[in-house]
């Protein structure tokens, strides 16, 4: 009882302190935001997302909100629409009627003798890009940026609300983001937001903008932070809804909150907090990214979410409860972005490690999200590994590269999925194959999917395994594609109980197109030849006799890491990693 009382008091204290201002930290650029005390003073003010150049969601009621003196009447006008509200507890909100796509509008907000006027307001399509470092990965870092960059300025209907990735101990009223037009100049590292625009999100926006046409502005709300666990994007109150799965999160949060309330700063050592780690607290303390990036835009309507996160939750302990945390996040984002059951497009984590173990298991959990949660779709990444020139070997072998620069195909794949599911503008089969049934036969197991299946390469389906409960081992099995089914040969397995796919390892794809399977005995080595020139040598021990490949950087040779598994749908969308029980 005493413990619950303490927790309750801390939560109440946190809520009481929300309006007192927030700590902020940046590694990008200095924001121009409303003073944090404006809400307390009762002056008319609004979150940073309400600004010149903003984009509002078309075909949905438009939420507009802010702060004003208690009891003040606030009038909001957009085009021919007007709504009025009275400020209660210093806050007000109105709902304007839905509009079709429009450009160059003025949004006016008036309270007494105060007014805010926002120009160049468009009504179009708004998408949220959220997650950790592969979502954050900047557009100008793309492998093919020099090919894409000349196209950027041909689109005048893309805008981005770029958050500078602060983190706060308490929820921010205003946030720190800035609206920009999606020009090449604005996307470069010397632009107004230091290039802080998601690569995969921007490529997705380019294709959607091209398909919807110049009259529809496409906007990204860019809220990402490297190294974050999913709980960084949840509010404090969400933790207490399920204290069993959030026990560790609550302990870390309460410890940091207590220190913050006492000292007004972050802990700096393990003596000050037993949860302290070197680096930044957003990577291990929950709520911090929600507080700075999501709380200020609560109620701002969006069409869908591109969610690219999971590397920081892939260890077995966090992965075991990830499904529950994701369901809570989806419900939260649906509320915060004023869209009942907002569509979620979940990107599987990048193929970066040859020791699949927990990573493949987590990818399988991500696939389950699309089966367990309505309006949720999986975007596979198995063929999107990092390209490396040979001298890049100085920074680690390809399996260790966690941030693939090859994100354009992924962005286009995401766009295809959104265009199919949300706008019905393409006849392509764009979603990943979805498992619909598993049937045990005499010496066989048949997996049925919702679409016809094809092979990406080779003549036989690769990397299907069946777990033999009698021997407690996973056994590779033959697999035959028949229409929308995969028939597994289990004749030699005594007690087949589970099927898994895509756990078989990684390939190195050579610049010639040849594939070399990575395995525990194969390795890269950096060497120096007789002339003093550095080169990379890969010894493939997976074949007999052993093969040795030599790569020199000046040859311009490129390799990349991709996942094993060669099954796709008819449009080439890969079958994601999965695990399923055999009935």
pLDDT at 396: 43
pLDDT at 16: 31
State the Cα–Cα distance between residues 264 and 164, nearest whole angstrom. 22
State the Cα–Cα distance between residues 373 and 350, nearest whole angstrom. 22
∠ CA 31-33-39, nearest 5°, is 155
pLDDT at 389: 46
Asked if residue 570 has pLDDT above 80, the reply is yes
Instruction: Take residue 185 and report the two structure tokens written for it.
Output: 């100049």
Minimum mean pLDDT range among 257-266, 331-340, 434-443, 546-555: 546-555
Which helix H or strand E contains 9, and what residues bound it? Answer: helix 2-17
Pairing, β 547-552 against β 534-540: antiparallel
Whether residue 508 contacts residue 564, with contact meaning beta carbons closer than 8 Å, is answered with: no
Mean per-residue pLDDT over the chain, rounded? 86
Per-residue pLDDT tens digits for 115-157: 999 999 999 999 999 999 999 999 999 988 999 988 888 888 9
Q: What is the pTM of this model?
A: 0.87
State the Cα–Cα distance between residues 397 and 399, nearest whole angstrom. 6
Per-residue pLDDT tens digits for 279-324: 889 999 999 999 999 999 989 999 999 999 999 999 889 999 999 9
pLDDT at 18: 30
State the Cα–Cα distance between residues 292 and 137, nearest whole angstrom. 19
* Span 551-559, average pLDDT: 59
Asked if residue 224 has pLDDT above 70, the reply is yes
Instruction: Take residue 162 and report the two structure tokens written for it.
Output: 């770029």
Pairing, β 479-482 against β 558-563: unpaired
Residue 144 has, within 13 A of its CA and on its CB side, a CA count of 13
| DSSP-assigned letters across all residues of 115-136 | EEEEEEEEEEEEEEEEESHHHH
Q: Among candidates 62, 67, 61, which has minimal Cα distance to 38? A: 67
∠ CA 61-64-65, nearest 5°, is 140
Handedness of CA 193, 121, 206, 404 (dihedral sign): positive
The pLDDT > 90 percentage for the chain reads: 66
pLDDT at 524: 67
Per-residue pLDDT tens digits for 344-354: 999 998 766 54
**Boundaries of every domain in the chain:** 433-583
Q: Residue 164: beta bridge partners? A: none
Phi, psi dihedrals of residue 246, rounded to the nearest 5°: -105, 20
pLDDT at 393: 45
| DSSP-assigned letters across all residues of 129-196 | EEESHHHH-BGGG-TTHHHHHHHHTT--SEEEEE------SS--SS---EEEE--HHHHSTTSTTTT-
Complete edge-to-edge strand list for the sheet that includes strand 506-509: 387-389, 558-563, 506-509, 515-517
State the Cα–Cα distance between residues 570 and 568, nearest whole angstrom. 7
Whether residue 164 contacts residue 31, with contact meaning beta carbons closer than 8 Å, is answered with: yes
* Span 248-274, average pLDDT: 96
Confidence bin at 472 (pLDDT 50/70/90): very high
């Amino acid at each position: 009882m005493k413990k619950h009382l303490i927790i309750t008091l801390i939560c109440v204290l946190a809520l009481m302190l929300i309006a007192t201002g927030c700590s902020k930290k940046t590694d990008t650029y200095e924001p121009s935001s409303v003073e944090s005390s404006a809400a307390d003073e009762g002056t008319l003010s609004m979150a940073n997302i309400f600004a010149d150049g903003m984009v509002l969601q078309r075909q949905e009621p438009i939420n507009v909100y802010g702060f004003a003196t208690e009891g003040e009447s606030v009038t909001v006008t957009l085009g021919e629409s007007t709504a009025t509200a009275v400020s209660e507890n210093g806050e007000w909100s109105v709902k304007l009627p839905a509009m079709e796509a429009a450009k160059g509008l003025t949004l006016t907000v008036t309270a007494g003798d105060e007014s805010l006027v926002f120009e160049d307001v468009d009504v179009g399509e708004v998408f949220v890009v959220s997650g950790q470092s592969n979502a954050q990965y900047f557009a100008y870092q793309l492998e093919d940026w020099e090919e894409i960059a000349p196209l950027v300025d041909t689109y005048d209907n893309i805008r981005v609300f770029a958050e500078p990735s602060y983190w706060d101990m308490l929820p921010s009223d205003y946030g720190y983001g800035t609206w920009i037009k999606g020009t090449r100049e604005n996307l470069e590292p010397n632009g107004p937001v230091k290039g802080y625009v998601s690569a995969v999100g921007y490529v997705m926006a380019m294709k959607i903008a091209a398909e919807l046409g110049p009259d529809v502005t496409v906007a990204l709300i860019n809220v990402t932070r490297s190294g974050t666990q999913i709980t960084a994007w949840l509010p404090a109150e969400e933790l207490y809804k399920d204290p069993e799965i959030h026990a560790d999160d609550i302990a870390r949060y309460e410890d940091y909150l207590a220190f913050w309330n006492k000292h007004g700063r972050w802990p700096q050592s393990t003596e000050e907090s037993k949860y302290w780690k070197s680096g930044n607290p957003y990577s291990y303390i929950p709520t911090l990214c929600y507080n700075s990036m999501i709380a200020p835009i609560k109620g701002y309507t969006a069409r869908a979410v591109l969610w690219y996160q999971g590397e920081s939750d892939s260890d077995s302990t966090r992965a075991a409860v990830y499904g529950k945390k994701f369901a809570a996040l989806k419900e939260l984002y649906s509320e915060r972005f004023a869209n009942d059951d907002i569509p979620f497009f979940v990107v599987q984590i990048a193929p970066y490690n040859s020791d699949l173990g927990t990573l493949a298991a987590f990818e399988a959990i991500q696939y389950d999200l699309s089966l367990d949660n309505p309006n949720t779709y999986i975007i596979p990444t198995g063929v999107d590994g990092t390209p490396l020139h040979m001298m890049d070997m100085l920074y680690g072998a390809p399996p260790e590269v966690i941030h693939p620069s090859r994100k354009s195909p992924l962005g286009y794949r995401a766009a295809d999925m959104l265009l199919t599911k949300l706008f019905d503008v393409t006849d392509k089969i764009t979603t990943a194959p979805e498992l619909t049934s598993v049937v045990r036969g005499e010496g066989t197991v048949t997996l049925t999917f919702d679409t016809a299946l094809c092979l990406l390469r080779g003549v036989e389906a690769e990397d299907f395994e069946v777990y033999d409960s009698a021997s407690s081992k996973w056994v590779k099995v033959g697999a035959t594609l028949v229409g929308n089914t995969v028939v597994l040969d289990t004749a030699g397995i005594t007690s087949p109980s589970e099927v898994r796919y895509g756990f078989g390892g990684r390939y190195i794809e050579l610049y010639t197109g040849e594939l070399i399977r990575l395995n525990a005995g194969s390795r890269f080595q950096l060497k120096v030849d007789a002339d003093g020139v550095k080169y990379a040598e890969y010894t493939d021990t997976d074949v007999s006799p052993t093969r040795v490949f030599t790569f020199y950087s000046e040859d311009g040779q490129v390799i990349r890491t991709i996942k094993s598994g060669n099954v796709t749908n008819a449009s080439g969308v890969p079958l994601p990693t999965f695990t399923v029980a055999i009935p």
